[in-house]
Structure 1
Amino acid sequence: MINKEHIIALLKKYKKEQSKRFGVTKMGIFGSVARGSINEGSDIDIVVELSKRNLLNRIGLKMSLEDFLGVPVDVVAYREDLSPLLKERIIRDVIYV
């Protein structure tokens, strides 16, 4: 089972090594992992701010993170025009790495 501290440590390492490749300027976790309510089969919700904003870059980042972490991830590129509900969840839960 994954735990929050382990995921944060892995994401710090990942960001240090891969941020330039994908243009990641900011990265954090939110959702069940950030709240510490992880269940068997939970995915990891990751919010990123990107300097390279395009769909192929985000898909590449998602695939790279899943390979690195060994679990499914949802990657959300933070932007001002996100849905208010999603934006609120991110702001409430986010732990930046």
Structure 2
Amino acid sequence: MDKERILTLLKQYKKHTAPRYGVVRMGVFGSVARGSSNAASDIDIVVKLNRQNLINTIGLKQSLEDFFGVPVDVVNYTENLSPLLKQRINKDVIYV
């Protein structure tokens, strides 16, 4: 799946499904954002939640994997996130 298709689908997901998990901001980073993903790539998704808890995060991850049909890594962007990971995300994130 190419970058533009993933972004289009993620916008739809954010509008219709993400609110039930408390998502207030959502985007892609990593190989998809850089345009270097391939058929074996997962989708790296960064979110900001207004209801931060493990159940929301796990439910969101499973829902996204079902929606896209590929493995998804979900990172909840918080103040406590490691500076190195924040730097990696901020370098190429595309918010929808």
Question: Which range, TM-score by smaller chain?
Answer: over 0.9
Q: Percent identity?
A: 68
Q: Which residue of 2 aligns with 1:87?
A: 86
Two-structure CA RMSD over aligned residues (Å): 0.7
Deviations 1:8-52, CA, capped at 9 Å, x for gaps:
000000000012210000000000000000122100000000011
TM alignment of 1:1-97, pairs within 5 A: 2-97=1-96
Runs of 4+ in 1 over 2 A off after TM superposition: none
C-alpha displacement of 1:84: 1.2
- How far, CA to CA, are the matches of 1:8 and 1:40 in structure 2? 16
TM-score, normalization: structure 1? 0.96
* Unpaired stretches in structure 2, ≥5 consecutive residues: none
Deviations 1:36-80, CA, capped at 9 Å, x for gaps:
001221000000000110001100000000001111000000011
